[in-house]
Each structure stands twice: as C-alpha cells, then as structure tokens.
Amino acid sequence: MLAKFRIAYRNRYVLLEALLWLALARLAMVLLPFRWVAPYLGQRMAETPVEQLPTKQQQQLRNIAWAIRKLSAHTPWESKCLVQAMAAKHMLKSRQINSTLYLGVMRNGCGDKTDADPLKAHAWLRSGHMLLTGGQGYQYFTVVATFADGQQGSE
C-alpha cells in the first residue's frame, strides 16, 4: 500500500518547486495590482511559435503540468487557472523553455439580465504545441491578452 504513495526523487523536486511557485503566484495576485505583475509574465500581445518540441522538453513540460495540476487541487489557498499558469510559466523560464500565457473572457449565458450574465475569465499556458494549464474549455474564451517570453513567432 505504501508503494503507491512513493514519488521518485526528481518528481519530489518538481512538486516542491511547483508548490513554491503556486504560493508566490497567489501572493502576487492577492497583494499586487495586475499591472505590476504583468511585466514579469513576458512581452505583452506576443506569442511563441506553435511547434513540435524536442522529446526532453516535452517530458519536462509533462512533469511540470503534472505537478501544477496535482498540487493546485490541494493547496490551502486558491490555485485557480491564472495562478497555475503563472507558476508553470516561471518553472519553464527557469529551464529556458519558451511559453505563452493567454488571458481570455467569455460571456456567461446569453440572457437579458446583466447582473446574472457576468463575464467569465480564464487563463492558460502553452509551450510549443502543448497546453500545460487551463486546457479544458480554453477554446470557448476570446483571447484578450497574451504574454510571451523567449523567441516570438509570427502568430
């Protein structure tokens, strides 16, 4: 029974790193205006290329996405989509892997009542051709901002 709870040493490091970045991202969102946080997310309204990444980088992306997904459900603070995307983005930066963070909005419903019909916001992170965070339902959101680091593509 204990065997199923064992985590490889390298995965423990990634989990610990993810926990640190989730905490820092949440603190930033609670304590700072977004306009102060945005410059640390990369170049505004730019995107990195959608391309096939080398196998080694793909494995790193999967490990980071796994750690963020695993921990965000169990943090004592809210670790929703933007916090997850910010944490994963900084983990990628430390590995010199380019990524694009997307912010999108969607109108919730289509009724006449403006109070009952607020906007919904969502954030997701892409590196190469892979979505690391916020992948479920992102296609229903209209992109209002992107933040890219590294080499930008022409998209």
Q: Is residue 17 part of a domain?
A: yes
For residues 155 and 109, which has the higher predicted lDDT (pLDDT)?
Answer: 109
Q: Is residue 153 part of a domain?
A: no
The mean pLDDT of 76-87, rounded to a whole number, is 94
> pLDDT grade, residue 7 (50/70/90)?
low
User: What is the extent of the structural domain holding 64?
Assistant: 2-148
The mean pLDDT of 7-17, rounded to a whole number, is 81
Q: Is residue 155 part of a domain?
A: no
Joined tokens for residue 118: 């607020």
Q: What are phi and psi of 19, to 5 degrees?
A: -60, -45
Average per-residue pLDDT for the chain: 87
Q: Is residue 133 part of a domain?
A: yes
What is the number of domains present in the chain?
Answer: 1
Q: Is residue 48 part of a domain?
A: yes
154 has a pLDDT exceeding 50: no
23 has a pLDDT exceeding 80: yes
Q: Is residue 154 part of a domain?
A: no
Q: Is residue 126 part of a domain?
A: yes
Residue 58's nearest CA partner among 87, 21, 92, 84 is 92
Q: Is residue 113 part of a domain?
A: yes
List Cα–Cα distances, 88 to 75, 93, 97, 147, 152, in angstroms: 15, 9, 11, 13, 18
